[in-house]
Amino acid sequence: MDGTPQEITTLVGREVYSNNGVFVGEVEDVRLDLSQQTVTGLALGELSQELFAGRIESGKGVMIPYRWVRAVGDVILINDVVERLEDDGEDEEVIA
């Protein structure tokens, strides 16, 4: 996120971790706002069973807002909001 333009497709396949180092999932797709030419969300699959067991059906994924992304490199780091799902049932979007 250093401002250097990158291909959007480079995000697909990257592993996503919380800023505490907990594996969250793998990017399967991106959500775009074409009018503003920005990425607005990441569709994750291959979800962490530890975080999502009993919450998300097998074969489904989650969409996380791109505003949660803290850094993009070899992996993607996001805020630890996902880890707090266990505590307060934070809203989540399920994708097919």
What are the helix (H) ranges across 1-96? 49-52, 85-88
Tokens of 96: 């097919």
Q: What are the pLDDT digits (tens) for 6-35? A: 677 788 999 999 988 889 999 999 999 888
pLDDT of residue 80: 79
Q: Which CATH class is domain 8-80?
A: mainly beta
Tokens of 39: 């990425």
Q: What are the pLDDT digits (tens) for 37-87? A: 888 999 998 888 888 777 777 778 889 999 999 999 999 999 877 666 655
- d(C-alpha 82, C-alpha 73), whole Å: 19
- d(C-alpha 47, C-alpha 25), whole Å: 4
- d(C-alpha 49, C-alpha 54), whole Å: 9
pLDDT of residue 5: 56
pTM: 0.75
Break the chain into its structural domains and give their ranges.
8-80
